[in-house]
Structure 1
Amino acid sequence: MPLHIAYGDPAALRARCETATVRTTLKNETVYESGAVVPAGQWRPMTAADVRSLTAPRRPLDSTLVEIVRPPFQAGLPLEDLPRALGDPDAVYLGQALAKPDMVTTTDNYEDGRLIGLHLDNWDKLRCSDRHTGRRRIALNLGPGTRYIVLGALDVQTVCRAVHGTGHEHRYPHTNDFRAYVAAGHPIRVVRIRLAPGEGYIAPTEYLLHDGSTQDQDLPSAAAFWLGRFPRGLLTSLV
């Protein structure tokens, strides 16, 4: 299934989102890993057709849905305690990440410091055929600046089918599958969603290409992350 975002007000979704295509990085872009996938060109406003393409079916799988929310965090409370109010007692706190201002993508490889670009998480280590059943990630923008979540519109199962063909469902997907897909000339549309301090998202980051971004922002932004099985609609949607 492609990227689906839960929303009630199309105008509110359009006001918060922009879309672009992607490219692979060049050899002289040494800040990135070789062949990393990054947004390409200018971001453009969402159209009504873009919104329709992101609209979830009548009965979507909670595990594949993206929600734009305000996590119930109060200053001074331990971040580890937030999942207790979110319907999954087994949810885990993954920690925080700080992004400098004006970063097109924010995640680096801890071994060498190079940026990995848009990528796929692998906490659950699921085969391709089971990726739609994985846990979703909650993120909260701790500020002080605004940040984005950038999401690919193609799911991992579609990409692996195109790259590997017969037997793809038994493979364990990797970010390199998306890199190979883009390098072969196949298009992937991405959507970036603006998140002010105190706002966040719930997203299937083991199912969709993604990364954070502070592009065109003047302030750094820290984010906190949790992983769990969170029911759809548990938190009030910002759109």
Structure 2
Amino acid sequence: MPLHIAFRDPAALRARCEVSTVRTTRPEETSHEPGAVVPTGQWRPMADADIRAVTAPRRPLDSTLVEIVQPSYRGGLPLEDLPRSLGDPDAVYLGQALAKPDMITTTENYATGRLLGLHLDNWDKLPYAEKHTGRRRLCLNLGPGTRYIILGNIDAQAVCRAVHPADSTQRYPHTDDYRSYVASGRSIRVFRIRLAPGEGYVAPTEYLLHDGSTEAENHPSAAAFWLGRWPCGILPSLA
């Protein structure tokens, strides 16, 4: 299933979301891993066709949906305890990450010291047939700056089928599949959603190409992350 965003107001979604395409990094771009997938940077407003493309079906599978949310959180409370009031007491706190200002993407491979670019998470280590059933990630922007979540419009199973047509069902979809897909000349649209401090998202980061971004922002942004199973609509929506 492709990118689907749960929203009620198209105008609210359009106001915080832009669209672009991707490319692979060049050898001289040493901040990122070789062949990493990154946005082209040519962001444009959402058109009506983009709104229709990300509209969730009538009976969506919660584990594949993206939601733009505002979790109820008061500064000073333990972040580890937040999920108890947010619909999944078994959610796992993954910790915090600080993004410097003006980062095209934010996630670093600590083994190499380079940025991953847009990627898939793999906390649940799910094979092809189960990749769409993984837990979703909740992110809360702690500020002080604005940040973005960037999401690809084509899911991990579809990319795995395209890159490995002979044995896709025997594989574990991986970030490298997306890199091969883009390097072969195939196109992926990406959607950049703006998140002010106190705002967040719930997204299937095991299933969709994604990463954070602070591109063109002047302030750093810290974010807290959890992994869990939140029913769609249980958190206050911002779109």
Asked if TM exceeds 0.5, the reply is yes
Partners of 1:82 and 1:173 in 2: CA distance: 31
Aligned to 1:185: 185
**Local SS of the residue matching 1:42:** coil
Aligned to 1:153: 153
Q: CA deviation at 1:130?
A: 0.5
**Local SS of the residue matching 2:40:** strand
Partner amino acid for 1:75? G
State whether structure 2 residue 52 is matched by structure 1 residue 48.
Answer: no
State whether structure 2 residue 203 is matched by structure 1 residue 203.
Answer: yes
Cα distance change on mapping 1:41 and 1:77 into 2, 3 Å: closer
Partner amino acid for 1:44? R
Aligned to 2:5: 5
Q: CA deviation at 1:170?
A: 2.0
The CA RMSD over aligned residues, in Å, is 0.7
Count of paired positions: 239
Q: CA deviation at 1:76?
A: 1.0
Q: CA deviation at 1:128?
A: 1.2
Identity, % of aligned positions: 74
Cα deviation 1:35-74 (Å, max 9, x = unaligned): 0000013100000110000000000000000000001111
Partner amino acid for 2:40? A
State whether structure 2 residue 33 is matched by structure 1 residue 37.
Answer: no
Partner amino acid for 1:219? H
**Unaligned segments of structure 1, at least 5 residues:** none
Partners of 1:166 and 1:230 in 2: CA distance: 35
**Local SS of the residue matching 2:232:** coil
Partners of 2:124 and 2:27 in 1: CA distance: 32
- Normalising by the residue count of structure 2, what TM-score does the alignment of the two structures yield? 0.99
Aligned to 1:168: 168
Partners of 1:60 and 1:135 in 2: CA distance: 15
Q: CA deviation at 1:102?
A: 0.5
Q: CA deviation at 1:225?
A: 0.1
Partners of 1:41 and 1:224 in 2: CA distance: 26
- Bigger drift between 79-88 and 58-67 goes to 79-88
Q: CA deviation at 1:11?
A: 0.6
Q: CA deviation at 1:166?
A: 2.9
- Normalising by the residue count of structure 1, what TM-score does the alignment of the two structures yield? 0.99
Q: CA deviation at 1:111?
A: 1.4
Q: CA deviation at 1:87?
A: 2.0
Partner amino acid for 2:6? A
1:122-161 matched pairs, under 5 angstroms: 122-161=122-161
**Local SS of the residue matching 2:219:** coil
Aligned to 2:65: 65
Partners of 1:212 and 1:23 in 2: CA distance: 17
Partner amino acid for 1:144? P
Partners of 2:173 and 2:34 in 1: CA distance: 18
**Local SS of the residue matching 1:41:** coil
Cα deviation 1:9-53 (Å, max 9, x = unaligned): 001100100000000000011111000000013100000110000
Q: CA deviation at 1:89?
A: 2.2
